[in-house]
Amino acid sequence: MGLSRSRFYKLYADYLRACAQGQQSHWEPGVSGGDHAPEWPPEVHALLRKRLSSKPPASYSFAASEALRVCGYKLTRAQVRRWAMENKLAHPKPNPQPLAPVRRWQRSQIGELWQLDASPHRWFADCQVLFPLLNMLDDCSRVFTGSKIYERETLLAYLDFLPDAFLEWGLPLEIYVDYHTLFFSNIPDALTQLGWALRFYGVSFRYAPTPRAKGKIERGHQFWQERLPAYFASEQVSEIDQANNHLLSLRQHRNEHEIHRELQMKPLQAWNLAQKEKRSALRPVPNCPWWHFVWSIRTTVKIGSDGRVPIGSQRLRVSAAPGSKVILCQHTTGHHSVLKEQPTHNAKPVILLTTLPKSILSPFEISKPKFVSF
């Protein structure tokens, strides 16, 4: 008959009302008001066809999200599904998914706990390599505080990922992780280099006993795994740097415009509400001259008898006594610095040598550093 479900139930309720009044023999269905919905703009049709015809295709919810992000046109998942069926772009029936584990209650303050994990996946259609996506969200508001793809899950990747998130959102109290060797040391009371860097700024690790204990970040992985491969295939994205540029915009749109089904509000809305109610454990990033050196791989090296230290395939001269020990820093930019001593809160860095331009040494000014030419 061409009736929608909602129209059918309206007619049925009207009929039951007539029966209650003893008028069922005279009841007739009223005339429908017709379809007054505005016609979708052509660019919305083009975008839906592009997203739903890619291999793999985008989900209906992601296609609706893209219509809002790209075209500023609000659609529901059901509208996209109905359009896909009419245009022969409907998805095959999905396989049944296992039930989700019991969910742990969320933290009451933003910045109290951030969940961090890596998700290796085939993000690009023509590439069989499983590149890791480092993903981090706030346990209270579900804001994605960071999402970025790297070639490998290494210490340098985390040293690049974490400070960017801190500069954007602030410093949390704890980061919820697993027992990966980058996070956990088998030596009692010892810290990994990444754990030491976090402790320098008052952030500590909390360890999850099982993967199920990190349900929120695991569902965050599923969120990106369902969307990014289809998006990258649709936009013909195959390079990590290019992918991360797109991912930045997608993460921002998700935080600001998509309603979280558990919170029944947008993540950034929940974040702002917590700030308004003074439910925040966040701290601002300090104006620290050590910042750029803390987020680097530091090793202790000995100056040779010629007054030089090995850096890669070179031996570079530093102004220090031969045989003395200095700190070699490998930065995430691929450059190196040599410090007189390890970072400490009681002193400022003395830079004996750097191959890094002064303009990008740190987001903070280092007062009177000692640069030595070579």
Within 10 angstroms of residue 238's Cβ, the number of other Cβ atoms is 14
pLDDT tens, residue by residue, 331-342? 998 899 999 999
pLDDT tens, residue by residue, 39-93? 899 999 999 999 999 988 999 999 999 999 999 999 999 999 999 999 999 988 7
**Model pLDDT, residue 117:** 95
Within 10 angstroms of residue 308's Cβ, the number of other Cβ atoms is 16
Residue of 32, 25, 4, 29 lying closest to 14 (CA atoms): 29
DSSP string spanning 113-176?
EEEEEEEEE--STT----EEEEEEEETTT--EEEEEE-SS--HHHHHHHHHHHHHHH-B-SEEE
226 pLDDT more than 90:
yes
For 206, the 3-state DSSP assignment is: strand
Residue 121 in tokens: 């996946």
User: Which positions ≥6 away from 128 have C-beta within 8 Å?
Assistant: 122
Range with the lowest mean pLDDT among 134-138, 168-172, 312-316, 370-374?
370-374
Higher pLDDT, 19 or 158: 158
Residue of 196, 228, 269 lying closest to 127 (CA atoms): 228
Within 10 angstroms of residue 172's Cβ, the number of other Cβ atoms is 27
- Give CA–CA dist 195/197, Å, rounded: 5
CA distances for 176 relative to 104, 184, 339, angstroms: 13, 12, 31
Which H or E run includes 295? none
Task: Read off the pLDDT band of 367 (50, 70, 90).
Answer: very low
pTM equals 0.82
Residue 284: half-sphere exposure toward Cβ, Cα within 13 Å: 3
Give the mean pLDDT of the chain. 88
Domains annotated for the chain, with CATH where assigned, are 5-25+41-86 (no CATH), 113-276 (3.30.420.10), 291-360 (no CATH)
Write down the number of H helices and E strands in the chain: 10, 11
132 pLDDT more than 90:
yes
Contact between 128 and 152 (Cβ < 8 Å): no
**Model pLDDT, residue 169:** 97
For 72, the 3-state DSSP assignment is: coil
pLDDT average, residue stretch 168-175: 97
Residue of 335, 337, 340, 336 lying closest to 321 (CA atoms): 340
CA distances for 373 relative to 157, 323, 328, angstroms: 30, 20, 16
Q: What b/e readout covers 331-355, taking b as 16+ CB neighbours within 10 angstroms?
A: bbeebbbbbbeebeeeeebebbbbb
Range with the lowest mean pLDDT among 101-110, 180-189, 319-328, 353-362?
353-362
- Give CA–CA dist 231/50, Å, rounded: 9
Evaluate the omega torsion of the peptide bond into residue 56 and state whether it is cis, within 30 degrees of 0. Answer: yes
Residue type present at position 365? E
